[in-house]
Amino acid sequence: MRKGIMLPLLLALIAAGIYAMLVHNAEKSLNDAKAMKTVLVTLRDIKEREVIRGEYLKPVKIPAAYVQKDAFTYSNASDLDKV
């Protein structure tokens, strides 16, 4: 091969590798965002200083992308007791 072709070919291969890595990371983050998480939501307004009871809450599945950072996630019945 001629020397004039080697450098552009090498740069193109490096750029293709970086592009493939970026696409893979973006695809992974989209798949993670689509995963469903179970969170606890209230069935009615809870007033200040009111004791929270289990009957005021229910578990609901929502996409992980929409879970707020302070949300109570729910995986089993003992999680309801912790709230």
Domain membership of residue 81 as a residue range: 35-83
Q: Are both 28 and 67 inside the same structural domain?
A: no
Tens digit of pLDDT at every position of the chain (83 positions): 567 888 889 999 999 999 999 999 998 888 777 788 888 888 999 889 988 887 888 888 888 878 888 877 777 767 666 66
Q: Are both 80 and 43 inside the same structural domain?
A: yes
In degrees rounded to 5, what are phi and psi of residue 34?
-80, -15
Q: Are both 21 and 42 inside the same structural domain?
A: no
> Do the Cβ atoms of 80 and 74 come closer than 8 Å?
yes
Query: Sign of dihedral through CA atoms 9, 11, 14, 19?
Result: negative
49: left (phi over 0), alpha (psi -120 to 50) or beta: left
